[in-house]
Amino acid sequence: MTQTEINDISGDNSLIDPEKDRLGYASFAKYLADSICKMTFPEGFVIAVYGSWSSGKSTLLNFLVHYLTSKPDEEQPIIVPFNPWLFSGHQDITRRFFEQLQNVLSKQGSMPKGLRERIADFAKVISEIPLPYADTAKPVATLFDDKQKEASEFKEEVEDTLVQQQQRIVVTIDDIDRLPAEDIRQLLRIFKAIPNFTNVVYVLLFDKQVVIKTIAESKEISGEAYLEKMIQVAFELPIPDKTSLRRLLFEKLDGIFADTEEQFDQIHWGNIYFQGIDHFITNLRDIVHLTNTLTVTYPAVKGEVNPVDFIAIESLRVFCPIVYDTIIHNPHAFVGEVNTSRNELKNLHNAWIAQLRDEDKQPIKNMLMHLFPKFKFVWDNSYLDAEEELKWREKLRVCSLEIFPIYFRLTFSASQLSNTQIKAILALAEDAEKFGEHLIKLANQKRLDGTTQVRAFLEQLENYPEQEIPLSFIPSIVQALFDVGEQLLCPEEESQSIFNFGNEVIISRFLSRLLRRLEEPTRFEVLKKAITQGKALAIINHELTTLKEQQSQYGSDTFNLEQEWLVNPRDLKELSEIATKRQQETDTNDK
């Protein structure tokens, strides 16, 4: 089966041939076509098929039309297709509907003479009738009554001509839910406010919840009740079973990943799919979203990546962007040598895993353990064999440090760290040494604008909700910044602008916010320990200078603003003496 044959199943490019049915819709369409042609009814009849976007409504409609047009000549109805969204926002939809009706009927040789003109007159009157569920002041109500009377007269004339011919008319209207709210209301007026024509069947396809919501916004009656009065019979498109969805997905993947048999590992694919991807394929929309993405992203890396790994990574992009984003910005946690402890990596991973839905956590873990041996090392206590790197490289696996960047060619470099990334970094703050080491790594990571990732991290902490940082983490964060702070001061980031802040200022502001969450005695003890043990004397001295300026600023006799101080004058004096002594010792050792 070629890519052309496996058409997109979305509403814009749906299946046409029932022979290609993969969801069991063809059988339903055939029997519905039989009923439409054989049933008897006194006047117009409205059939609705409910389904969400990309549920296969348009495919079902195509199959229905196929079977209707395959009927013998004496049974075959006249089909009037109407796509309202093609006209939305451009002209009156009600008038366009009747224009389409008259255009189709006028081409039929069996149609009585003058029908086209009478329908045109009818359409003009209908389009001028106010919506029956609009606010109607007295003049509007009078106009409605007059136009309704005139419309009824025209309707009788049209029906007199329609009844002379025996062919059934089937009007199909798809994608009503894609219209703006006002256009939906106009279209519904055709079926509710105006009596239906004899021998005319309307087949409507739309998302029921969208239309109900639109009706409810303008009526006192519930949208559900309104549809029940307007529609004689309705069907709900069933959710396709897992087997049908898999078969359809695999056929579409065959078209995208042609000529990749040599690189394809069936066992690896089975593990990745059934333990991970399958969890996220729940409806047709999921298939459309994933395969449309792969159609665009795979050609850019074809032949340079492992197809199974690439499908898995793109599945994360589509269904779980938090994980995709985490992988891109924390490659050290997924690929490369293990130069940190298992607990440190586990803390980092726990930070982003906590943000996932509970039902998604295990499938995501399963996928990542098959994609990244380093991730399996963290969660499965497995042995990580660095010698396997050569094999991963040969198979173009994403776990190869050299191949890893190729998988993310079509990914924009974010101008700032995501909330997930910040949480992952702060998750390390329970251990001052580990947190400090990670900050140094960020300081060595250059961004496209010439700054470093640590600068981005520190700046974004300015607006980060401080309550999300546990109180128990504050001492280790202070200790880490007083220990490695000088390694975070990058001269190339300093601007000539007098308005720009240096990293030491941003660090000081962050420390102040954290320390204010502690009681003053605890605050003093945290600072005393950090100043006594910290190696970043420049950061320590800058912080003490800031504290002294603070007391000088709020030292007026007019106001008692001691509550604005981080530490009282006595404690500040003790902290300054400790810092001075340490500076003298450093100066002596440097001589």
Residue 127 pLDDT: 58
Q: Are 44 and 196 in contact (CB under 8 A)?
A: yes
pLDDT, average across residues 154-166: 58
Residue 561 pLDDT: 46
Token pair 């024509």: residue: 197
Q: From CA 77, how far away is CA 378, in angstroms rounded?
A: 66
Residue 453 pLDDT: 85
For the chain, what is the mean pLDDT? 81
Token code pair at residue 468: 């999300």
Helix (H, G, I), strand (E, B) or coil at 500: coil
More confident residue, 221 or 177: 177
Confidence check: pLDDT of 143 > 70: no
pLDDT band at 16 (very low <50, low <70, confident <90, very high): confident
Q: How many helices (H) and strands (E) does the chain have?
A: 26, 5
Query: What's the pLDDT tens digit per position in 473-484?
Result: 999 999 999 999
Q: From CA 527, how far away is CA 3, in angstroms rounded?
A: 66
User: Rounded to the nearest 10 degrees, how much is the dihedral formed by the CA atoms of 218, 222, 224, 230?
Assistant: -60
Partners of 79 in the beta sheet? 170
First and final CA of the chain: distance in angstroms?
80
- Full strand arrangement of the beta sheet holding 78-82: 78-82, 169-173, 200-206, 45-50, 233-236
Q: Are 255 and 3 in contact (CB under 8 A)?
A: yes
pLDDT, average across residues 385-405: 88
Q: Are 172 and 61 in contact (CB under 8 A)?
A: yes
Residues 6+ apart with CB under 8 A from 179: 84, 85, 88, 93, 187
Provide, for the chain, the percentages of residues in helix, strand and coil under a 3-state DSSP scheme, each rounded to the nearest 5. Answer: 60, 5, 35
Burial class of residue 538, CB neighbours in 10 A (0-12, 13-18, 19+): exposed
pLDDT band at 141 (very low <50, low <70, confident <90, very high): very low
pLDDT, average across residues 186-202: 69
Residue 3 pLDDT: 34
Helix (H, G, I), strand (E, B) or coil at 204: strand
Residue 558 pLDDT: 41
Q: From CA 211, how far away is CA 57, in angstroms rounded?
A: 15
Residue 104 pLDDT: 80
Residue 179 pLDDT: 81
- In terms of CATH architecture, what is 18-236? 3-Layer(aba) Sandwich (3.40)
Q: Are 510 and 458 in contact (CB under 8 A)?
A: yes
User: Rounded to the nearest 10 degrees, how much is the dihedral formed by the CA atoms of 70, 73, 75, 80?
Assistant: 70
Q: From CA 376, how far away is CA 370, in angstroms rounded?
A: 8
* Max mean pLDDT range (81-90, 173-182, 425-434, 547-556): 425-434
Helix (H, G, I), strand (E, B) or coil at 172: strand
Q: From CA 221, how far away is CA 210, in angstroms rounded?
A: 16
Residue 129 pLDDT: 55
Residue 591 pLDDT: 63
Residue type, position 181, single letter: A
Helix (H, G, I), strand (E, B) or coil at 219: coil
DSSP 81: E
Residue type, position 436, single letter: G
Confidence check: pLDDT of 498 > 80: no
197: phi then psi, degrees, rounded to nearest 5: -70, 145
Token code pair at residue 288: 């459309």
Query: What's the pLDDT tens digit per position in 315-372?
Result: 999 999 999 988 988 888 899 887 677 787 888 888 889 989 999 999 999 999 999 9
Task: Write the DSSP string, 302-315.
Answer: TTTS-HHHHHHHHH
Partners of 80 in the beta sheet? 171
Query: Where are the chain's structural domains?
Result: 18-236, 249-412, 433-591
Token pair 């069933």: residue: 238
List C-alpha distances in Å: 261 to 265, 300, 306, 554: 8, 18, 11, 74
**Closest residue by Cα to residue 417 from 379, 358, 362, 461:** 461
Query: What's the pLDDT tens digit per position in 56-93?
Result: 888 899 999 999 999 998 889 989 888 776 655 545 67
Token code pair at residue 370: 């098959």
pLDDT band at 138 (very low <50, low <70, confident <90, very high): very low
Token code pair at residue 233: 């019979």
Query: What's the pLDDT tens digit per position in 195-242?
Result: 466 778 889 999 998 888 888 776 666 788 888 888 889 999 887 888
Residue 132 pLDDT: 43
Residue type, position 260, single letter: T
Task: Write the DSSP string, 19-34.
Answer: GG-SSSHHHHHHHHHH
Residue 580 pLDDT: 92
Token code pair at residue 583: 């500076």
Q: From CA 55, how far away is CA 515, in angstroms rounded?
A: 54
**Closest residue by Cα to residue 49 from 198, 213, 207, 188:** 207
565: phi then psi, degrees, rounded to nearest 5: -80, 145
pLDDT, average across residues 372-388: 80
Query: What's the pLDDT tens digit per position in 247-277?
Result: 989 999 999 998 877 778 999 999 999 999 9
pLDDT, average across residues 429-441: 90
Residue 259: half-sphere exposure toward Cβ, Cα within 13 Å: 5
Token code pair at residue 69: 């047009």
